[in-house]
Each structure stands twice: as C-alpha cells, then as structure tokens.
Chain A
C-alpha cells in the first residue's frame, strides 16, 4: 500500500481511537481498508483515500472505518482460566461481602464476553441468592448491534462454548443461527463507549473486564485508561486484563491477586 495512504488512515484511526497501526501491522490495516472499499463499492483503496482526503471522513464511512479498525473478533470464554477465576474466586469473595454484583465488560465486541459472564452468573445462581447486572460497551455500533441481537453462527458457537452451555443457553432458529436465551440477554445492558472517554463514567462496578484492547494503545493512553478504570471500581473491586497483558510499568495503584494461573488486579477494600 502507498505510504501516504497508510499514514493518512493510520493517523486518523490513532486520533479517533488511540489504536496504533505501524509497519508491524500494516498488512492488517490494508486488509481492513480493502474490506471497506468492497462495502462502499469503490474501485480501489486509492479511490477510498481520494474520497476521504478530499471530502473528509464522516457519516457511514467514518463508522465503517472505526468499526473495522477495532478488530471485532472474539470467542466465548476466551481465556478459560479467567472465567474459572471469576466463578471460583472473585464472585464468591464479593458474595461474602454483599448480595449484588455489578460487572462491566469494556470493548465487548460481538458480545461473547458479556454473555459468557452471564452464563457464569446464572450457574452461580443455582446455589447462591444474589442480584447482578452487566454493562457492556464498545466503540463500534456495528459490533453492538450484533451483540444486542445475540445471534451466532454455527462456527461462532463452536469457538469456546461447550455443547452443554450451547443447548442450555441458546436455541437454534430455522436459518441455522443460534440465538442467546432471554435469561442471558435480559441481564445485559449494551451501550456505546470509547475507551478514551472513560472519565465520563458515573457508575461503579465490582468487576471490570478490559481484555485484549490495551495492547493497541500507547503507554500514556494505557496509563490513563487504567486510572479511569480504577475510579470506576467499587472498593475491593477487580480488574481483569487479557491473559498476555500486564500492569507492569503502567500503574501501582492496583494490587495483584492470583488464582490457579490467572491474575486479577484489585482496588483496596
């Protein structure tokens, strides 16, 4: 791809989302721009560049670029150890102190993460009495619409979801899609939020998941996001990052706790 085209879109995406594209992931951006070009029925990425650089990026094109740049691929129960930690360590500890649990899924993408949390909470409800709510946000409207609909293909439900959960919490429609049951969807409130605007948040949570998204941010933005999340946590609240992500060099306000190979970061009680 022409360097000026790459620089133009990479700069725009970084300004809007804080997501950095450089020479290491140039191919990924090129693939995504190709996809946008197809959707907009343009002849080439060069034409997309000409339109955007001449008239500016707004409306449908803006939404498409932001949607596609955020890479909304995910699976159910991604990183099983984190969900074991929620089930066996974090939620039971919270329930010793109070009888309601508030959870936030940041950058929830197509919804697999909040639905996985809802399944864990529903199972826990078989033995414990408590109330719970899950807020789930993403910057991408396209991903949020998908998540709200809660309809997944055969291929998607094969990723991370056991057959036992599949038949318990989903029902298959005539078009071969699996729809999530209202038991789960009724627990989740989906809305749009940019990770760079978390300072606007007013709600407090016992558990916040912010997984596999900080990797796309530079160090200063990572620090700011982690500071904002700290303010969103209730005392004693927990933050879960992705399995390969770490707090090293980013924040000293959290303290680390470990359970069976999984790590979480906690606010003082």
Chain B
C-alpha cells in the first residue's frame, strides 16, 4: 500500500533525513517546517495524507499542540510522533491525546518503514 505522508519538523536537517529515508520506500512524503502551516495543510486537504510524522520538540506550536489541533477536526489520519523524548509519562500523555505511534530519534530508514507498515497492518 503506497502511503502519502506529511512530515512536520522545524529542523531542516531532520526533514532532509526523512526525505532521504522515503527515497528508499514506495511511499511519498511532503515536508513542512512550521507546525501551524502543517495544521492548515491537513485541514485544507482532507483525506490527502494517510499519515503524519510530527516532531514533538518544536517552537510554538509544539508537537503536542499540533496533535491536539489536528485531532479536533481529523480523527482518521495516523499520527506518529518523532521525538527524542522517551519518558513513559510523556508517551502516555500523547497517546491519550490521540497519537497512534512513536518513533524515537535516532532511527534508521528501515525502522521508519517498519513503523509505518505496522501502523497500517
């Protein structure tokens, strides 16, 4: 199944790494650096993106806020938090807010592909 994925991360180098990772997969990825812009992209193009890779540690709005805003109007899109946090309470909090999965930095393209596949299996 070919997926259309949106990746939101304030770091240009992380986005470059994600684009490079997707070059090895059959899926497509669109990248954006600002959280607020990402929210609008999901809102204005309903059903376009199957999954969202969402950086947690971004400046205002941060990943949790973007997650909260998107879940207000879109319950369907699969949201995977991309983070260097691995605090159990934080993970529980994000899952409660509607995140579907986590991937911890650093990760390999293979791990990202596995996680995406698991999300849709």
Instruction: Using CB atoms and an 8 Å cutoff, list the residues of chain A in contact with chain B.
Output: 80, 154, 158-160, 162-164, 166-167, 171-172, 176
Q: Who on chain A is nearest to B115 by CB?
A: A158
Bound CA–CA A164/B102 (angstroms): 9
B87 / chain A contacts, CB cutoff of 8 Å? 172
A159 / chain B contacts, CB cutoff of 8 Å? 111, 114
Least CB distance, B97 to chain A, in whole angstroms: 13
Bound CA–CA A160/B115 (angstroms): 8
Q: A158-B104, A163-B95, A167-B95 are in contact. Are A80 and B118 (CB under 8 A)?
A: yes
B residues contacting the other copy or chain, number (CB 8 A)? 17
Contact B121 A80 (CB under 8 A): yes
A-B contacts, 5 of them at CB < 8 A, read A80-B118, A154-B86, A158-B115, A159-B114, A167-B88
Q: A80-B121, A163-B95, A164-B95 are in contact. Are A158 and B88 (CB under 8 A)?
A: no
Task: Confirm or deny: B107 has a beta carbon within 8 angstroms of a beta carbon on chain A.
Answer: yes
Known: A154-B86, A160-B114, A163-B102. 15 other contacts (CB 8 A): A80-B118, A154-B104, A158-B104, A159-B114, A162-B101, A162-B118, A163-B91, A163-B99, A163-B101, A166-B91, A167-B91, A171-B88, A172-B86, A172-B87, A176-B86
Q: Who on chain A is nearest to B110 by CB?
A: A159
Shortest 4 CB-CB distances between A and B: which pairs?
A163-B102, A172-B88, A167-B91, A167-B92
Bound CA–CA A172/B121 (angstroms): 27
Least CB distance, A41 to chain B, in whole angstroms: 30
Least CB distance, A223 to chain B, in whole angstroms: 34
From B91, B92, B103, contact of A158 by CB (8 A)? B103
Least CB distance, B96 to chain A, in whole angstroms: 10
B102 / chain A contacts, CB cutoff of 8 Å? 163, 166
Least CB distance, B89 to chain A, in whole angstroms: 9
B91 / chain A contacts, CB cutoff of 8 Å? 163, 166-167
Bound CA–CA A160/B121 (angstroms): 12
Using a CB-CB cutoff of 8 Å, which residues 76-98 of chain B contact chain A? 86-88, 91-92, 95
A162 / chain B contacts, CB cutoff of 8 Å? 101, 118
